[in-house]
Amino acid sequence: MRTQVAIIGGGPAGLLLSHLLHRRGIDSVVLESRDRAYVEHRQRAGMLEQGTTDVLRESGAGERLDREGLVHHGLELRFGGTGHRIPLTDLTGRTVTVYAQTEIVKDLVALRLADGGDVRFEAEVLGIDASAPSVTYRHNGRTHTLDCDFIAGCDGFHGVGRSAVPGLRTFSREYPFAWLGILADVPPSTDELIYANHGRGFALHSLRSPKVSRLYLQVSPKEDLASWPDSRIWDELAARFATDDSWELRQGPITDRSITPMRSFVAEPMRHDRLFLAGDAAHIVPPTGAKGLNLAVSDVIILARALTERYASGSQTLLDAYSATCLRRAWRAEHFSYWMTTLLHVDPSADEFGHRLQRSQLDYVASSKAAATSLAENYVGLPLD
């Protein structure tokens, strides 16, 4: 069996790449190790940069996003019992949109299948030959080989793509905290996201729809989910979001909960021979800056452009520049995500000097237009080129 581009992974990066290539007349096969229901219901990201919504819309994948996505023009930093609004749109002219990763994946799977696309679920890639090139995968109990012109490793942090890049250099940072995230059937208590810094730890109030709230608590990476009954989660959230005025946190049934460790990670280069890594396969950011999914999307926009140029004119120029182009953007997102994380979380090893420095930085971002603009332009996403 043969295709032009073999795509490993049916997460947002792999599915969007397949969709963008199809629009440019390039064939691909997506190989995804999990089943369709699993990838469509895995709770993860929810905040989209304008560049991400633009590409979904322009490529014909934005119909439901336009109907159901919630456009935001600002966010709140809450500390010392007071909220401080960062007016993202006033400062940058751009917006962000709340639309869950689960919904993007559902939209893209449906579109690929409607367009006659080849998306194989429960097809686990076992081996990669980046020179031949080809991939070996297991599907329905049998081993198959897929020959191709190029391979896209969109298989996430735990995938096999990275291990096929010889001489790979990796850079990483572990954080002394994790996020306990919940999904609750209750209308959000806020119109815009609240990023709260509190002596008890960081908390984030996000949302998925006008009826569903998404909330996070900073916890220890060793925390056991079993020791967090609903009442403890709500009490802790209420304590960390408490203000000096009458703001109240609405509570409702919790429908999903998980603990996610936080890490920063970059692998260089993002290419070996005819294999190209994209998304979480090449880089991970702590979720505080809402950058992971957006970074995966920008990688595949850059890769789709490069492959289009290669098939249209035979030129390798954009393919040769792929790794450096993506890494420049990835490192900017790494820095911003690290900065947002250290700005807002309580470092258990910090002393009073560290706490004072953190408070000073929060005051500065809340009071200086220049500092707020720096946060805002990174948060809404820097231009692709």
Chain positions contacting ligand FAD, by CB under 6 A:
8-14, 31-34, 39, 44-47, 101, 124-125, 154-156, 159-160, 181, 260, 279-280, 287, 290-294, 296
* Beta carbon of residue 46, minimum distance to ligand FAD (angstroms, whole number): 5
Give whichever of 96 and 319 is closer to ligand FAD, judged by the CB atom.
Answer: 96
- Do residues 153 and 159 lie in contact, with contact meaning Cβ atoms separated by under 8 Å? yes
Q: What three-state secondary structure class fits 127?
A: strand
| CA angle (171 as vertex; 170, 173 as ends), nearest 5 | 135
Which one, 41 or 355, has the nearer CB to ligand FAD? 41
Strand 254-268's sheet: what is its strand order?
A: 82-86, 75-79, 194-196, 203-209, 212-219, 169-184, 254-268, 283-284
Between 7 and 366, CB nearer to ligand FAD = 7
Q: Check 19, 22, 72, 345 and give the catalytic one.
A: 72
From the list 99, 137, 175, 379, the catalytic residue is: 379
Active-site position among 195, 205, 272, 286: 195
Quote the DSSP letter at residue 2: B
Task: Using the minimum distance from each CB to ligand FAD, give the nearer residue, 195 or 234.
Answer: 195
Indicate if 72 belongs to the active site.
Answer: yes
CB of 143 to ligand FAD, least distance (A): 13
Nearer to ligand FAD, 26 or 215 (CB): 215
Starting at the earlier edge strand, list the strands of the sheet with 5-8.
Answer: 118-120, 28-31, 5-8, 150-153, 275-277, 271-272
Please provide the DSSP assignment of 66-125 as one string: HHH-EEE--EEEEETTEEEEE-HHHHHS--EEE--HHHHHHHHHHHHHHTT-EEETTEEE
Whole-number minimum distance, CB 326 to ligand FAD, in Å? 12
Minimum CB separation of residue 237 from ligand FAD in Å reads 16
Tally: H helices and E strands in the chain: 11, 20
Q: Structure tokens of 151?
A: 């391979």
Q: Which of 19, 283, 291, 345 is catalytic?
A: 291
Q: Are 61 and 38 within 8 A, CB to CB?
A: no
Strands, E assignment, the chain: 5-8, 28-31, 47-49, 70-72, 75-79, 82-86, 96-98, 118-120, 123-129, 134-139, 142-147, 150-153, 169-184, 194-196, 203-209, 212-219, 254-268, 271-272, 275-277, 283-284
CB of 27 to ligand FAD, least distance (A): 18
Nearer Cβ to ligand FAD (12/83): 12
Quick check: is 291 catalytic?
Answer: yes
Least spacing, CB of residue 270 vs ligand FAD, in Å: 12
Per annotation, catalytic residue among 198, 272, 287, 322: 287
Active-site residues: which are they?
A: 72, 195, 287, 291, 379
